[in-house]
Amino acid sequence: MTVVRAARRHYGLRIEIVDLGAWAERGLNAEYDGRGPTIRVNARRMDALHGSARRRFFVRAVAHELYHHLEAIGAVARMRPRAERECAADAFARALVP
């Protein structure tokens, strides 16, 4: 099962591609909203990519935010500080989408 399919079917996440605005130099790739629960992938970042690079970006962004969902539901321990959580989410995404 793909990461995106697992996020939708197994974890019940809604996945949207939306304009998340401009976020400094690095940009915001995606965000997790536990109220939905929803993963929003930044359309601005997606628009700059094409083909396999676009698909890879999308899947990796979903995997990163899936990690945050796993934190929210208690499936993985929530690390402190935030920078450690982001590093863990990046590592999780890289492991799933090399």
Judged against a pLDDT cut of 90, whether residue 21 lies above it is answered with no
Burial class for 74, CB neighbours closer than 10 Å (0-12, 13-18, 19+): exposed
pTM for the model? 0.93
pLDDT tens string 52-69: 999 999 999 999 999 999
Domain ranges of the chain: 3-96
Residue 43: which pLDDT band, with cuts at 50, 70 and 90?
A: very high
Provide the terminal-to-terminal Cα distance of the chain, rounded to the nearest Å: 16
| Percent of the chain residues past pLDDT 90, beyond the cut | 85
Interval 64-93 mean pLDDT: 96
Judged against a pLDDT cut of 70, whether residue 23 lies above it is answered with no
Judged against a pLDDT cut of 60, whether residue 50 lies above it is answered with yes
| Cross-sheet strand order for the sheet of 38-42 | 14-18, 38-42, 30-33
- Give the model's pLDDT for residue 22: 73
Structural class in CATH, domain 3-96: alpha beta
- Give the model's pLDDT for residue 24: 54
